[in-house]
Amino acid sequence: MATSSMVILVTVFQIVCMLISSCTAQSGSNAKFFDVTTYGAMANGKDDNSKQFLRAWGDACQWNGNAVLVIPKGIYMLNPVEFTGPCKGSVAVRIIGDLKASTDVSLATWINFIHVDWLLVDGSGTVDGQGAAVWSKDDCQHNHRACQPLPISMGFNFIMNSKISNLNMINSKGVHMKVFSSQKVMISGIKITAPENSPNTDGISIAKSQDIKVQDCNIACGDDCVSMLNGNENVEIFDVACGPGHGISVGSLGQSIGDGQSTAVTGLHVKNCSFRGTENGLRIKTWAPSDPGLVSNFVYEDIHMENADNPIIIDQHYCPSHDCNNQAQSSIQIKNVTFRNIWGASSTPVAVNIQCSSKAPCLEFKLQDIILAYNGKQGLAKSQCLNVHGQSYGQEQPPGCF
């Protein structure tokens, strides 16, 4: 990521945080509070509170100033809801109580924020997707090709200048949090917990968004801790603890979906993160064959691995159903990727595995100070590379393979 882009991103987040903190401070003279219980919400863990929450949101959104939607202590059952904007002023949603989802799987998202600027969502409560009620019925556990997406717990779509912080999210049916087509959003202090064998329960998924920062999060789930999909630009992931889970992944990219859009992910910076007992560490995956596209300007640095199966893995022959053409090649170009100061232990012999496409070889790769031991009985850790051009620097264990 270019230095100028990082400076701009940091400045944006400082401004966003100052404005949000100012406009939602409880001592603010012009802040108006909207308590869901005054709209008839019942904290008994049984009655559906969707209508009451939506009425409270409607009034808060229409307040021409700084609004605070308050969910007090208690257990609130909640069917799928959409909190839509645009709003007349800033809105803070304070989740102090615990939210429980129904077992309905008919909608894509349980709690959805759409077209809202200057939004703050935070609180000490728990957001419980009650995924265990449906996981056992999901064919994803047995047949990847039969997978049907289960509901996302919290969606943030077309959001700008906003912050999501300090939530405790557990047992989503599907992805815990998804950010889509949004700009200038900070996600911090989030704790996400789901069983290691829960199907497709990604922690945080980001798609078609710009200037997103994820920091100080602790994620344990059954899929990617953080997943980066198509269309992202300038994303920072700092101080994230991942495990169990499938690591921090970019992709899968390049599968034709008929929308005529090319694949592009540019400007990713992952720093000061740790992986413990994960299936993967740092991963980029593209389909083969694939639509054309570009993945560029990535920096991974200061990363600790503790028994990750695949600490560094780039797979440009991704085909989870195993019935693809073995001769097919990805058309996505991956270039300008740096792995720096990555250390710890791999639970498999191949600690560095970079498998690129012969049709679009990986370019401008750098490996610097990579120290990964193999925790097993098959000798020393090793690296494997295919169709990649780059350089290795500093300490290399296993030895670089290009």
Quick check: is 309 in a domain? yes
Task: Residue 207: give the domain boundaries.
Answer: 3-31+71-140+149-397
* Residues annotated as part of the active site: 223, 246
Quick check: is 57 in a domain? no
Give me the residues paired with residue 368 across strands.
340, 393
Whole-number Å distance between alpha carbons of 161 and 113: 13
More confident residue, 285 or 378: 285
C-beta of residue 347 within 8 angstroms of C-beta of residue 308: yes
Tokens describing residue 155: 């969606």
Quick check: is 100 in a domain? yes
Quick check: is 326 in a domain? yes
The phi and psi torsions of 117 (rounded to 5 degrees) equal: -105, 155
Tokens describing residue 2: 């270019």
More confident residue, 104 or 244: 244
C-beta of residue 129 within 8 angstroms of C-beta of residue 171: yes
pLDDT value at 379 more than 90: no
Name the pLDDT band for 107 (thresholds 50, 70, 90). confident
CA dihedral 231, 234, 239, 242 (to 10 degrees): 10
Quick check: is 56 in a domain? no
Q: Residue 56: helix, strand or coil by DSSP? A: helix
pLDDT value at 7 more than 50: no
Quick check: is 205 in a domain? yes
Q: Is 71 left (phi over 0), alpha (psi -120 to 50) or beta?
A: beta
Quick check: is 60 in a domain? no
Whole-number Å distance between alpha carbons of 214 and 237: 5
Q: What is the pLDDT of residue 1?
A: 44
Average pLDDT score over residue span 207-232: 97
Q: Mean pLDDT lowest for which of 15-24, 192-201, 314-323?
A: 15-24
C-beta of residue 157 within 8 angstroms of C-beta of residue 183: no
Name the pLDDT band for 89 (thresholds 50, 70, 90). very high
Whole-number Å distance between alpha carbons of 260 and 45: 45
Q: Other C-beta atoms within 10 Å of 80: how many?
A: 17
Q: Which residues contact 376 (CB under 8 A, 6 or more apart)?
A: 347, 348, 349
Q: Which residues contact 294 (CB under 8 A, 6 or more apart)?
A: 262, 263, 264, 265, 266, 332, 333, 335
Number of domains the chain is built from: 1
Q: What is the pLDDT of residue 32?
A: 96
Q: What is the pLDDT of residue 322?
A: 65
Q: What is the pLDDT of residue 300?
A: 98
Average pLDDT score over residue span 61-72: 97
Largest CA distance in the chain: 67
Q: What is the pLDDT of residue 323?
A: 67
The phi and psi torsions of 40 (rounded to 5 degrees) equal: 100, 5
More confident residue, 42 or 317: 42
Exposed e or buried b per residue across 192-221, where buried means at least 16 C-beta atoms within 10 angstroms of its C-beta: bbbebebbbbbbbbbbbbbbbbbbbbbbbb
pLDDT value at 39 more than 70: yes
pLDDT value at 305 more than 60: yes
Whole-number Å distance between alpha carbons of 296 and 364: 10
Q: What is the pLDDT of residue 23?
A: 44
Q: What is the pLDDT of residue 392?
A: 94
Q: What is the pLDDT of residue 27?
A: 35
Q: What is the pTM of this model?
A: 0.91
C-beta of residue 218 within 8 angstroms of C-beta of residue 245: no
Average pLDDT score over residue span 123-139: 88
Average pLDDT score over residue span 90-103: 97
Quick check: is 402 in a domain? no
**CATH code of the domain containing 194:** 2.160.20.10
Q: Residue 22: helix, strand or coil by DSSP? A: helix
* Chain length of the chain: 402
pLDDT value at 138 more than 60: no
More confident residue, 27 or 231: 231
Give me the residues paired with residue 241 across strands.
218, 274
pLDDT value at 143 more than 80: no
C-beta of residue 209 within 8 angstroms of C-beta of residue 229: no
More confident residue, 107 or 9: 107
Name the pLDDT band for 77 (thresholds 50, 70, 90). very high
More confident residue, 179 or 328: 179
pLDDT value at 145 more than 80: no
Q: What is the mean pLDDT of the chain?
A: 90
Give me the residues paired with residue 70 across strands.
35, 94
Residue position matching structure tokens 């992709």: 251
Q: What is the pLDDT of residue 375?
A: 81
Average pLDDT score over residue span 64-86: 97
pLDDT value at 3 more than 90: no
Q: What is the pLDDT of residue 261?
A: 63
